[in-house]
Structure 1
Amino acid sequence: MDNLNSSPSPVLRDAFSSGKTKPYSFRLLQLNAILQMLEEHEADFIEALNKDMFETVLSEMITVKNEFLILSVCAFLPQISLLDNCFVQKEPVGVVLIVGGWTFPIEQSLIPMIGAVAAGNCVILKPSENSSQAANLLQILLPQYMDTVSKKGGMMIKTSIFLHICVSWFPGDRTIGKQVLQVAAKKLTPVSLVLGGKNPCYVDKLCDLRVAARRIAWARFINAGQNTLAPEYVLCHPDLKERLIHELRNCVREFYGHNPRESPDYGRMACTEQYQRVKDLLSTGQVAFGGETDDGDLYIAPTVLTDVQEPDAIMEHEILGPILPILTTQTLDEAIDFINKRDRPMTIYVYSGNQEVISQIMHRTSSGSFCSNDSMIQNLNTSLPCGGIGNSGIGIYRGKYSFNTFSHRRACVLRTTTAECVTHLRYPPYTEKTPEHGLSNDAKHDHV
């Protein structure tokens, strides 16, 4: 592991070239070290997350531990081919750059790192400065538990860092994602991007509205809405809108009380810049409930907006905050057309008791993932990949998909020279040949 920002150190490249990261025993040792670090310092991580987000996100610890379990148990099964001696060998790509995300600073740093380490790579880890407490804790603890060749802080996305990078993993918005691609392209460095997007949530008349509201509210307002998989807007029939708003308001009161600002379970914006950006979005449409802010506390209340128009800024950019616009459509076809007119999102949600409605949306739209009658739950399943499509991201990760992302699949054929009686047919001259044609006396004798 390395925490560099400039070009990777020769020590790191030499460490990979020595082959020390390739043995199964070394990889498992490093993965066990990550798990040990999490178990011994769980209280420290929770405290750091509280200081960064003012909210304890236990799901971060759980998902990282699940990632360890799936890769430490399953990633190193022998590659046994049933087709004679033809097989695919997975080998590490080399030095991997992982830039951690700020919305889930532990998860979005360690989960891709676990995949890269499991595949046998050297890793340059750059946690997000927007979650400074979590980033500092990772930089302090990881060298105490893992094999570390260099400890340096700070990094800028510039051409030099990609000089000896084999794969990079980056979460962020589309603007920065395009910049990363441009820089990486100069060195032909493969890049995996998790960019988010406008995740639609269709609420059908035939659904349990109270359950739907609970699950939507939980996903939208957890971490104060700072989550790329949260529902970005709701589409529903006009007759359903007021009832849905009523249920959402009840859910917010149930989760956070009558004043969410006083709830220990409700978060704050990660930084002043993020706070001001999300606060400006409150001028869109009409506030159905919520809308309160506090500049000194970086607080934005759980908010539902109505009368939002398609060209409004809140419908053009990812919210990453505790605001949920509700738009109406008359028919299912109209809702599907609305979704398909926009860039393909990270995920699509639909709440309905009608399987035909679910099937129609799933098969007539495209997204990084899809979930019916719940929100964000697909991200907790380590057997499923996580990632976007089109403008919402490039590449996938989680579990075995992380292992594959950070591995080169090498096609291998191991042959002998005893089958020349058959393979000689490929040699010129291309005239009719007998099985013995072109064979040496020894080969003919072997054939007989």
Structure 2
Amino acid sequence: MSNRFTSLLDAQRAHFFSDITKGQAWRMDQLDRMERMLVENQQAFCDALYQDFRKPPFEQLFEITVPLGVIRYYREHLVELMKPQPAPVPKGLEEQGYRGVILKEPYGPTLVIGPFNAPVLLLLDPAIAALAAGNPVILKPANTTPTVAALFQRLIPEYFDPQAVTVVTGGRAEISELLELPFDFIFFTGSAAVGKVVMRAAAEHLTPVILELGGQNPTVVDATANLDVAVDRIAWGHNAISGQWCIAPGYVYVHRSIADEFIARLKRSITAMYGEDPSRSPDFARMISEHDAERVASYILPEKVVHGGRFDVPGCYVEPTVLYPSSWDDPAMQQEVFGPVLPVLPYDDLGEAINAIKHQPKPLAAYIFSKNQADIDRFLGSVSFGGGCVNQTNLHCWIDSLPFGGVGMSGMGKYYGKAGFDALSNTKSLLIGNPDTPLDVFPPYSGKDIARNLSVFAG
């Protein structure tokens, strides 16, 4: 059966085989084109984000400014990132004029599949890293944000040669066809269920992948925490994008001695941010679909609602909701909520809370609010997660110098900044020999001092 997208991949591979993408000029040109597209069409992107699920202005601009910052990083550091890196060799070889070198070379045509929750940022950030590393890119925006996808479909051909960057829109059928092709690298952001599909498809061609997935992200608030700081940062981190943020705090473990005060302050913080009726707030986004609104609303247990609880499925709206006291048997604790419903669990002993967290799938993010360094160290040293914050939420994903990615069920591979360039580059290791110095490691071995010959490989 013919594949609709074979010609797109073939054109990009031919372009890649010309070696033009390996040069600094090509990479800089792609970065410049991406920057122009974002700057010249900023309002169009913001309007599309609002149209698809009423993203508020801050969250709209966030999706533009972050990729622009990524472009700026690569523009400023590209020369350094592309330089051959010296690598140490055993002293015996070094004395004979040998040296080690590490080269970073692009993989080749790369498929980037983006999610709906940040449909500009989480499609373009990986693409920018791939282009900086010298890889042509085929972009697949989320079909559940049709206005954004249509905007990409219109703009990408205006700013890019399709041999360098092209876009494919559509849904499951289009993704399935794309995944049949032998890409040189695949970058997927989305659910763990689809991540498994991507990984199985990639295995057919032994294609390397980065999978940015998700999970139910734990947050711990101990008895020493600054509650005013904690509640504001948790309320915002959890409810931004209507909770549809893969690094959002998924649940809170709060020390029982401060639990009531924590709940009272959290309720005040949510009301201060979104008002008595968040459905009328210009700063609160909608769920992406009726299906997702219905799914998240089903997690609301009326007897445990201490704040919020209202929803409008046809309007794709679920109110910021706090459930307390929650337990591991509750529906909201059985999977990633990915919506504005926050379970809060009391704990008495930090070790018991940590043990419960460790027995769940490894999350993409985790957070702790504490002034007790021993508690902080214990939590960070014991709980495995992709990345996170101490006395803050979510903001680690804005920092170029902090590699971003998951672990276990929350994903594999890291990107951002240098880590992104390295991840989208093949590491080519070289031993540079001295053509004028003999190194006899060849047979016949009879009569030779083999130990002496091999000693040059010792450190």
Q: Compute the TM-score of the two structures, normalised by the length of structure 2.
A: 0.89
Question: Structure 1 residue 262: deviation in Å?
Answer: 0.9
What residue is the counterpart of 2:95 in the other structure? none
- Residues 179 and 198 in structure 2, CA contact (< 8 A), matched pair in contact too: no
What one-letter code is carried by the residue in structure 2 that aligns with 1:62? Answer: T
Deviations 1:312-349 (A, max 9, x none): 33212111101110001111111111111111111110
> Number of residue pairs matched?
430
The percent identity for this pair of structures is 33
- Residues 179 and 201 in structure 2, CA contact (< 8 A), matched pair in contact too: no
Q: Judging changes above 3 Å, is the alpha-carbon distance between structure 1 residues 405 and 244 closer, same or farther for their aligned structure 2 residues?
A: same
Matched, 1:79 2:84: yes
Q: Judging changes above 3 Å, is the alpha-carbon distance between structure 1 residues 151 and 190 closer, same or farther for their aligned structure 2 residues?
A: closer
- Residues 219 and 367 in structure 2, CA contact (< 8 A), matched pair in contact too: yes
What residue is the counterpart of 1:415 in the other structure? 433
What one-letter code is carried by the residue in structure 2 that aligns with 1:322? Answer: P
Q: Compute the TM-score of the two structures, normalised by the length of structure 1.
A: 0.91
What residue is the counterpart of 2:216 in the other structure? 198
What residue is the counterpart of 1:280 in the other structure? 298
CA distance in 2, matches of 1:338, 1:79: 46
Matched, 1:124 2:129: no
CA distance in 1, matches of 2:382, 2:85: 39
Q: Which moved more, 1:267-276 or 1:70-79?
A: 70-79
CA distance in 1, matches of 2:417, 2:299: 36
What residue is the counterpart of 1:245 in the other structure? 263
Deviations 1:228-262 (A, max 9, x none): 10000000122322211111111112111111111
What residue is the counterpart of 2:385 in the other structure? 367
- Residues 216 and 375 in structure 1, CA contact (< 8 A), matched pair in contact too: yes
Matched, 1:428 2:444: yes
What residue is the counterpart of 2:12 in the other structure? 12
Deviations 1:193-223 (A, max 9, x none): 1110111000011011011000000000011
Q: Judging changes above 3 Å, is the alpha-carbon distance between structure 1 residues 151 and 387 closer, same or farther for their aligned structure 2 residues?
A: closer
Question: Structure 1 residue 82: deviation in Å?
Answer: 6.4
CA distance in 2, matches of 1:82, 1:175: 40
CA distance in 2, matches of 1:49, 1:370: 26
Q: Judging changes above 3 Å, is the alpha-carbon distance between structure 1 residues 425 and 6 closer, same or farther for their aligned structure 2 residues?
A: closer
SS at match of 1:130: coil
- Residues 310 and 318 in structure 2, CA contact (< 8 A), matched pair in contact too: yes
Q: Which moved more, 1:82-91 or 1:150-159?
A: 150-159
What residue is the counterpart of 1:67 in the other structure? 70
Question: Structure 1 residue 160: deviation in Å?
Answer: 6.2
CA distance in 2, matches of 1:419, 1:272: 73
SS at match of 1:9: helix
CA distance in 1, matches of 2:29, 2:110: 19
SS at match of 2:248: coil
CA distance in 1, matches of 2:323, 2:397: 26
CA distance in 1, matches of 2:177, 2:205: 8
What residue is the counterpart of 2:408 in the other structure? 390
Matched, 1:289 2:294: no
SS at match of 2:247: coil
What residue is the counterpart of 2:92 in the other structure? none
Alignment gaps of 5+ in structure 2: 89-97, 454-459
What one-letter code is carried by the residue in structure 1 that aligns with 2:67? Answer: V
SS at match of 1:156: helix
**Equivalent residue runs for 1:315-330 within 5 Å:** 315-330=333-348
Deviations 1:31-50 (A, max 9, x none): 01111111111111111111
Question: Structure 1 residue 151: deviation in Å?
Answer: 5.6
CA distance in 2, matches of 1:5, 1:212: 49
CA distance in 1, matches of 2:428, 2:338: 40
- Residues 284 and 308 in structure 1, CA contact (< 8 A), matched pair in contact too: no
Matched, 1:33 2:7: no
Q: Judging changes above 3 Å, is the alpha-carbon distance between structure 1 residues 290 and 367 closer, same or farther for their aligned structure 2 residues?
A: same
SS at match of 1:164: coil
CA distance in 2, matches of 1:153, 1:186: 23
From 224, 227, 230, the counterpart of 1:212: 230
SS at match of 2:110: strand
From 102, 110, 116, the counterpart of 1:102: 116
CA distance in 1, matches of 2:300, 2:224: 31
